[in-house]
């Protein structure tokens, strides 16, 4: 198993928060380099079971030969369907690390990073038809503006969308460097890296339909978790964190409280075990700068 593929963030807090039972059945929503999954396996007996999901073909090289682990090469938005294929309807805990793996950022040809010249791609599932290039060259100004504003929280999203729309009339925008050249006049002074990170994040989220997938997955987690089971989710931006927080508070991603019809009492599905999210230490961030925006929330199913 590769240690360089991805350094797991908040590894011990994640494992401790799962409250692992040796004979339990657990799910790792994002296998990646296998760091979290490998650590979970250390705490399971021969009767324990772990299902690990990852839609990225590259993640398969990290799967250990362990009969307790079942690797599911699909998006976690289909969690219930694939678990049912294995006869599983309830689990003892679910872990989700929603970040992009270091491998994806560091493999230049994948187009995830502002550091490399590459074709505009950004697909986690390399079989998907939707690429960054397709989005940049086909979305109208309204859709581009909405994407940059909602997913990247880009202040001048409308200006950015218009510049891209106008530029592509002179020819398709094919690469990361071409895109950076096109939008250079939108970048605030002294904020190039921060601004480009927001732009790339917005495109990546749209390419991979990350918010839709997360919404579908979280909604299914409510029914999948046994009473007393722990939900452990690590997010990296406010949009994801808000969905997780809403689910823990109300049992749904919209954050709408449900009340029983007789007494009007609020229905609770989870007990929050973290009043504030767990964040990486300064030491961990120094060793792994990509951990800096991580927020870990933990809840117990009631």
For residues 125 and 252, the answer to whether their CB atoms sit within 8 Å is no
For residue 166, is pLDDT > 80?
yes
Is the residue at 39 inside a domain?
A: yes
Residue 35 lies in a domain: yes
Q: Mean pLDDT in the chain? A: 93
Q: 218 and 195 in one domain? A: no
Residue 27 lies in a domain: yes
Residues 282 and 201 in one domain: no
Beta bridge partners, 230, equal: 93, 300
The CB-side HSE value for 62 (13 A sphere, CA atoms) comes to 26
Determine the pLDDT at residue 107: 58
Tokens of 31: 């296998």
Please indicate, yes or no, if residue 68 is contained in any of the structural domains: yes
- Residue written as token pair 């270091």: 102
Residues 82, 156 share a domain? no
Inside any domain, residue 119: no
Across the range 94-119, mean pLDDT stands at 71
What pTM was computed for the model?
0.92
Highest mean pLDDT range out of 51-55, 100-104, 115-119? 51-55
The neighbour count for residue 46, using CB atoms within 10 Å, is 9
Domain boundary among 207, 229, 248: 207
Choosing from 207, 225, 244, the residue where a domain stops is: 207
Same domain, 95 and 232: yes
Of 153, 172, 207, the residue at which a domain comes to its end is 207
What is the domain range of residue 44? 11-102+212-301
Predicted confidence band at 2 (pLDDT cuts at 50, 70, 90)?
Answer: very low
- Total number of domains in the chain: 2
Report the half-sphere exposure of 32 (CA within 13 A, side-chain side).
25
As a whole number of angstroms, the distance between CA 51 and CA 28 comes to: 6
Whether residue 59 sits in one domain with residue 26: yes
Regarding whether 239 and 196 lie in a shared domain, the answer is no
Whether 195 and 242 map to the same domain: the answer is no
Give the span between the Cα atoms of 27 and 75, in whole angstroms.
Answer: 13
In terms of domains, do 153 and 277 share one? no
Q: Is the dihedral of CA 99, 238, 74, 227 positive or negative?
A: positive
Note the pLDDT tens digit of each residue in 219-266: 999 999 999 999 999 999 999 999 999 999 999 999 999 988 888 888
> Residue 3's pLDDT band (boundaries 50, 70, 90)?
very low
116 falls within a domain:
no
CATH number assigned to the domain comprising residue 151? 1.10.150.170
Do 229 and 290 share a domain, yes or no?
A: yes
Q: Are residues 98 and 140 in the same domain?
A: no
Rounded CA gap, 302 and 300, in Å? Answer: 6
CATH of the domain at 274: 3.40.50.150
Banded pLDDT at 104 (limits 50, 70, 90): low
Same domain, 227 and 289: yes
Distance CA 242, CA 245 (A): 5
Residue 243 falls within a domain, yes or no?
A: yes
Q: Is the pLDDT of residue 109 over 80?
A: no
Give which of 295, 291, 269, 271 is closest to 282, Cα–Cα.
291
Positive or negative, the CA dihedral 285, 114, 73, 223 is positive
> Do the beta carbons of residue 115 and residue 173 sit within 8 Å?
no
Identify whether 36 is part of a domain: yes
Contact 148, 197 (CB under 8 A): no
Residues 269 and 296 in one domain: yes
């Amino acid at each position: 198993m590769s240690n360089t593929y991805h350094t797991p963030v908040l590894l011990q807090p994640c494992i401790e928060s799962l409250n692992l039972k040796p004979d339990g059945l657990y799910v790792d929503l994002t296998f990646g380099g296998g760091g979290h999954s490998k650590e979970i396996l250390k705490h399971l007996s021969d009767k324990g079971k772990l299902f690990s999901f990852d839609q990225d073909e590259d993640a398969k090289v990290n799967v250990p030969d362990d009969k307790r682990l079942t690797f599911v090469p699909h998006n976690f938005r289909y969690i219930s369907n694939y678990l049912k294929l294995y006869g599983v309807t309830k689990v003892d805990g679910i872990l989700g690390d929603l970040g992009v793996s270091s491998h994806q950022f560091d493999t230049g040809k994948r187009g995830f990073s502002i550091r490399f010249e590459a074709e505009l791609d950004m697909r986690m599932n390399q079989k998907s038809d939707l690429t960054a290039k397709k989005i940049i060259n086909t979305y109208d100004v309204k859709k581009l503006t909405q994407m940059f504003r909602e997913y990247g929280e880009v202040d001048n999203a409308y200006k950015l969308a218009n510049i891209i729309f106008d530029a592509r009339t002179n020819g398709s925008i094919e690469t990361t460097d071409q895109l950076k050249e096109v939008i250079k006049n939108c970048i605030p002074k002294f904020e190039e890296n921060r601004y480009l990170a927001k732009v790339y994040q917005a495109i990546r989220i749209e390419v991979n339909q990350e918010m839709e997938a997360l919404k579908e997955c979280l909604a299914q987690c409510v029914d999948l978790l046994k009473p007393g089971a722990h939900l452990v989710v690590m997010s990296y931006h406010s949009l994801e964190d808000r969905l997780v927080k809403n689910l823990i508070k109300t049992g749904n991603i919209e954050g709408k409280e449900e009340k029983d019809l007789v007494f009007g009492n609020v229905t609770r599905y989870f007990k929050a075990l973290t009043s504030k999210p767990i964040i990486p230490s300064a030491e961990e961030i120094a060793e792994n700068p990509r951990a800096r925006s991580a927020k870990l929330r933990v809840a117990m199913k009631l």
